[in-house]
Structure 1
């Protein structure tokens, strides 16, 4: 198999090393990142064109204080208003923007904050994404949990009181098949009320199968909507195909998933344009599938093994706050998740303004929840983490802190009948 030497990154063959070097230095050696690979479903959706037309015309330098004030005065937020709220001209109005966002959050979510935790079940990957800790050439400890180990991890998490889990894998079909993920979903149904997936994009029929196995929603990071920058960051693997990844949420909805979540990894490219594209991606799909539960995630790039190779663009906390508040004003009904990449102080503040969901008891490694939850000594069978987290609070601590801010922590609000 072509990818076999890519997966076993601790034993790179001379051929693999040569391929890695050519991928990094010879663009003509790479496949076309806009062309579908064999087996990838094409759905011919108009959403991508609608989004990218708006992004290409987004000149955020043209917006003025007058435009920002007008956006804040409007009862409903238009696309032009959203652009103004994301512009540099909006930065001096951050307090007013936050106040409006807080009002919108209160109207639609009250004072609730939802809690969940991620569960990585495998970290094998066949993609060469230069910024990712899991990428196929990184020399890290690889691991794939068997079903017994998955169930044990889930039991440990459930015993902490958590009722929603997000199942994640590295992007490797050969090591984490759709059937393997489906069995993990079935196990999750024994322990959790809500089951989410953050896996490699799949076709509609495969999303339908995973939904039948118990998955409720799907999260896909587009990473960056800048197709030129995307090409330089994703050098090999199925993830290299930008349009197939873009349409993943729509295929998930076509496959029966109840909800979908969107995200760019802020800092990979121009964060204002990526934030606009993320919001519009969610907006246009919401209009096309009005029954869908829509969520937005707001991660910033965290330190990883190859940080020095990508020259990440700084996105400061005030700018992140601006983006999150703009999301809330533009899409009042959407859930907004802020992950443990951010500090406890920032997350404590943003849930009082615009964010509605946070993770707790987080591990981005493989097979180490019992270690983290009980303090037992780390064993040699654990797989390495994808990135560093900043907020390591347990569920009990997070629950207590949220309650202490006068908010209502929610573990689940959905019942199957």
Structure 2
């Protein structure tokens, strides 16, 4: 069975209706369950659960401290290309937008990486658009090999690959994959991705499974908040994470909560998600997924990130720039989207400590795998 088989069991409109008819009693029962499942997740995401956000937050906090302690892993995105052939309506990198395009040379990538290394980062996320002529697997493998001495963990958020492509990434030093489905609503997905390889809904949906088969140690998923209706999107994201954690148990599964931000093209959210709804979604998924990493980026404001930190977050980006070359060169290329928390890594680190948490710059080293292979 694949997650595709599970997704096909749900009609989005019917799912929304099922979630909306949950009652306060259903929510109370869900909160009383030690390990919630899909039925409880429906209740926790329902309109009726909005009056229970506080007890949900308390339980989410307790679970996170029990599983992860008071630790927040810090990472930084490193954008290496904004060239893209896809026509995604919401993205600043979209081929529809007439913006300057740029792909970094290996030397420029290393320059950016050394800047981040000097800031303290040991976990980075390599990000690109989708342009086979500008960025291919061999280029990414060369980047990973070049940066491997600087970082304990290298993840990628790039175009979907075949399983063999991900095996090549693993061999080159990549240990993590982030891939957002954007929306689990097939019809909406088609409207939002009218052209380019990304228009293939099924190929993208199956990407995390190909990464799992290739042996990637970390896999992160998520839906783009503001595209589809957050209740059904949150439910299906939760089911997807459950599926991956059960079928690829050696892989650490994480969930991100990217919310649409201003970008070139001027796209506006179709279904805006309020801060309160954001908190409800985060807490509901923590209750469903007690061992999953929950990731919060600089898309969100400093004030909101500060308040969300105790509710289940385990990973945060800091000091981010979403343009290729943007860390070391102020005259950088077009950003993918505008960030909202522009504090420096040091400032974020101080805030984390002020909240009673420990900022973790490194929680893994690829040498662990090397030693295991030798035994």
Instruction: Please report the TM-score for the alignment, with normalisation by the length of structure 1.
Output: 0.85
Question: What SS does the corresponding residue of 2:181 show, helix, strand or coil?
Answer: strand
Counterpart for residue 206 of structure 2: 247
The answer as to 2:292 corresponding to 1:334 is yes
In structure 2, which of residues 167, 180, 183 is the aligned counterpart of residue 221 of structure 1?
A: 180
Q: Deviations over 1:256-281 (max 9, x none)?
A: 11110001001111111111111111
Deviation at 1:307, TM superposition (A): 3.2
Question: What SS does the corresponding residue of 1:229 show, helix, strand or coil?
Answer: helix
Hey, what's the Cα distance between the residues in 2 that align with 1:54 and 1:333? 25
Counterpart for residue 119 of structure 1: 78
Deviation at 1:172, TM superposition (A): 1.2
The answer as to 2:63 corresponding to 1:104 is yes
Q: Deviations over 1:8-29 (max 9, x none)?
A: xxxxxxxxxxxxxxxxxxxxxx
The answer as to 2:295 corresponding to 1:345 is no
- Inter-CA distance 95–52: structure 2 relative to 1 (3 Å threshold): farther
Q: Is the 8 A contact 1:55 1:273 kept in 2?
A: no
The answer as to 2:251 corresponding to 1:295 is no
Hey, what's the Cα distance between the residues in 1 that align with 2:8 and 2:289? 18
Gaps of 5+ in 1: 1-44, 372-377
Q: Is the 8 A contact 2:226 2:269 kept in 1?
A: no
Q: Deviations over 1:35-83 (max 9, x none)?
A: xxxxxxxxxx522221342464522111000000000011111110011
Deviation at 1:187, TM superposition (A): 1.7
Q: Deviations over 1:135-176 (max 9, x none)?
A: 112011110000110111111110111111000000112211
Question: What SS does the corresponding residue of 1:264 show, helix, strand or coil?
Answer: coil
Counterpart for residue 234 of structure 2: 275
Hey, what's the Cα distance between the residues in 2 that align with 1:285 and 1:266? 21
- Inter-CA distance 52–108: structure 2 relative to 1 (3 Å threshold): farther
Q: Deviations over 1:199-231 (max 9, x none)?
A: 000000000001110111100010101001111
The answer as to 2:91 corresponding to 1:132 is yes
Counterpart for residue 53 of structure 1: 9
Deviation at 1:289, TM superposition (A): 1.4
Hey, what's the Cα distance between the residues in 2 that align with 1:331 and 1:311? 27
Counterpart for residue 164 of structure 1: 123
Hey, what's the Cα distance between the residues in 1 that align with 2:209 and 2:187? 23
1:68-83 paired onto structure 2 within 5 Å: 68-83=27-42
Instruction: Please report the TM-score for the alignment, with normalisation by the length of structure 2.
Output: 0.95
Q: Is the 8 A contact 2:26 2:43 kept in 1?
A: yes
Q: Is the 8 A contact 2:71 2:358 kept in 1?
A: yes
Deviation at 1:111, TM superposition (A): 0.7
| Larger displacement relative to structure 2 (182-191 or 355-364) | 182-191
Hey, what's the Cα distance between the residues in 1 that align with 2:119 and 2:220? 25
1:361-376 paired onto structure 2 within 5 Å: 361-371=319-329
Moved over 3 A (4+): 54-57
Question: What SS does the corresponding residue of 1:115 show, helix, strand or coil?
Answer: strand
Q: Is the 8 A contact 1:52 1:277 kept in 2?
A: no
Counterpart for residue 84 of structure 1: 43
Gaps of 5+ in 2: 369-375
Q: Is the 8 A contact 2:260 2:269 kept in 1?
A: no
Q: Is the 8 A contact 1:268 1:313 kept in 2?
A: yes
- Inter-CA distance 233–216: structure 2 relative to 1 (3 Å threshold): same
Hey, what's the Cα distance between the residues in 2 that align with 1:198 and 1:172? 13
Deviation at 1:349, TM superposition (A): 1.3
Question: What SS does the corresponding residue of 1:223 show, helix, strand or coil?
Answer: coil
Hey, what's the Cα distance between the residues in 1 that align with 2:286 and 2:203? 27
